[in-house]
Structure 1
């Protein structure tokens, strides 16, 4: 089996309307699959299974968007942030674009060294996205879209090609640079100092405002300006929330009196993020363009809530019932919430091209790389480069005969919460290779969502077959592999 790049052909089997939709991607940083009041967990009969985490958090605007659109119960990202963000922008698997770990502002090696005999591949792109990529905003700009970036960028390190979002095709950049998290969420503290200072928001310094709200107001202003023009717009709202530091958004603190301080702060970051979504959707409605705006809600990796992560008893962990968290090879590290649909239901020409059934869902495996062909297809873009994603519009249209290829490779040749691994999802089966000790893991996710039962011994033939397929995909991607360090050698 080969990992084949898909070529987007505009105009074949799908007419593009003369009036094209506005596009809004709402990206949350480090938000887990269970960090919301909207249950993504489903029972054997498809019924929603709410958990204690769903009951803890308040995300009514996510619920409202899902009621108007489609939820993807099995959406995946890379286990850490920069690779996922570059995959959104390029439509390529991280093993192919080779930004396989998060980048730091200095552009230097940042991998943990828990495995003494392994180190990161020498050639991974420590400084971020390559300059020869043709990223999503540049392609949308070429297709006649006005492009807006707001919030966390983290596409490249200081001085590198993709440090400034304008370099990759955004015409407007609000607060995006090389940093991966804010030094502070508080405007009264000037959003912190030194290397993780949030730039471009100086007019807010000293005011009693929170970063999530400030970014929301800034984006709403940029959208209002864009709405006065003749072009459709692409708005990329990439919140710094809910990444650490876990600081309480004071607007919502009173809603969580019984939680310990860090968990209380995290819950307020979640609710503030959801308020932002609601405020932006309300702004679109106020401007009379909600019916013409297509929205995608996603996270960039698994959750990192300040809740004890007990691998021996995953049900009490921060991503329960999933095992693990951000950076890990388990589902809690890579499965994310995802919703797509129109900002407001309507019967105009734009929505006629992509009618989304309210309250619909798919349980198929999908990936962040799929946004690239989906959004470019909606925009009617041309001269699109090759990519790894698959168009999700048939799902959104309710085509039950359509199934994106149900396999996915995740390659992480670095140290972090888990160290040096590759994953192959194939239908309900999941195969993991651990490079540190050469061990393998095999799970049937449909029967063991918490990944408690390693089936390598019970199903050796399946494990061997999946390992062979994994190797074929990694070779096709040109994946860079972990490097072995001899005892006593300098790391």
Structure 2
């Protein structure tokens, strides 16, 4: 582990305390893929759990020069960023290929997801990393589970990253420890195509400023097609139908008053029950 979101550099020497230095010029995603492959080879004869946080794509924006040159020849706005995406894709592909080569692919579950939206544009979604609009919090959650989940299938039921842990617990036949509540819900009913989930709403709480400090502190509740954002700085709310209006362009808070009030109360109740820490918002006085 490493307590920074991004490494000092993506090329060796990395200066990452928990990673042995590689040869000068080695690319970090390639190195991490090699570490993953070595781990899988050692654990191939028994059950194993591997979490692969690629660092990419994250500042500093660095990629192999051959990939950057490749994207400079294409109509993209940011060739280094595009090159980093391919570098990440390449590293993940190597890990998946190792599962194939070792004959483990049919007996291994692979989940691909992200912690937040891109720093740059996420159209047609609104905003980006650090924001409570869809461009900041909507990410892919992709699973490969041979023999259980049909390839190419999809679901429009909203889920959240914390669903991953209870899902994997159920997959391996384990139960959570007594007295320790789970934030998420097992997705097995969705993955099997049997039914939806028991819960009705999803919640988000973001009481901190992102590094770019352009975000607003607030909370979110999503119920069905509707999503309410409560901004803590001025106590304002915004309400969107994020199915019909993915870009969150039409604020419905002024027309769907009862729904907005219900969702705001539901969010407040969840924040209280969760013991969520709230930001200090200084009061301002006009002269």
- TM-score, normalised with respect to structure 1: 0.54
Q: Does the C-alpha gap of structure 1 residues 431 and 467 become closer, same or farther in structure 2, counting only changes over 3 Å?
A: same
- Deviations along 1:183-202, one digit per CA (max 9) or x if unpaired, are 10011xx12xxxxx323433
Q: Does the C-alpha gap of structure 1 residues 364 and 184 become closer, same or farther in structure 2, counting only changes over 3 Å?
A: same
SS for the counterpart of 1:422 is strand
Q: Does the C-alpha gap of structure 1 residues 241 and 404 become closer, same or farther in structure 2, counting only changes over 3 Å?
A: farther
- Native 8 Å contact 1:365 1:406 kept in 2: no
- Native 8 Å contact 1:412 1:421 kept in 2: yes
- Native 8 Å contact 1:364 1:406 kept in 2: no
- After superposition, where does 1:92-491 map in structure 2 within 5 Å? 176-187=1-12, 190-191=13-14, 197-206=15-24, 208-228=25-45, 231-258=46-73, 263-305=78-120, 318-342=121-145, 345=146, 351=147, 355-384=148-177, 385-399=180-194, 401-416=195-210, 417-485=214-282
Structure 2: segments with no counterpart, 5+ residues: none
2-side partners of 1:269 and 1:186: how far apart?
12
- Deviations along 1:135-189, one digit per CA (max 9) or x if unpaired, are xxxxxxxxxxxxxxxxxxxxxxxxxxxxxxxxxxxxxxxxx222221110011xx
CA RMSD in angstroms comes to: 2.0
SS for the counterpart of 1:463 is helix
- After superposition, where does 1:36-75 map in structure 2 within 5 Å? none
- TM-score, normalised with respect to structure 2: 0.91
**Which structure has the highest strand share of the two?**
1
1-side partners of 2:242 and 2:27: how far apart?
39
2-side partners of 1:415 and 1:178: how far apart?
18
> How far off is 1:484 after superposition?
3.4
> How far off is 1:456 after superposition?
1.2
1-side partners of 2:41 and 2:33: how far apart?
12
- Corresponding pairs, count: 280
> How far off is 1:408 after superposition?
0.8
Structure 1 segments of 4+ aligned residues over 4 angstroms from their partners: 258-262
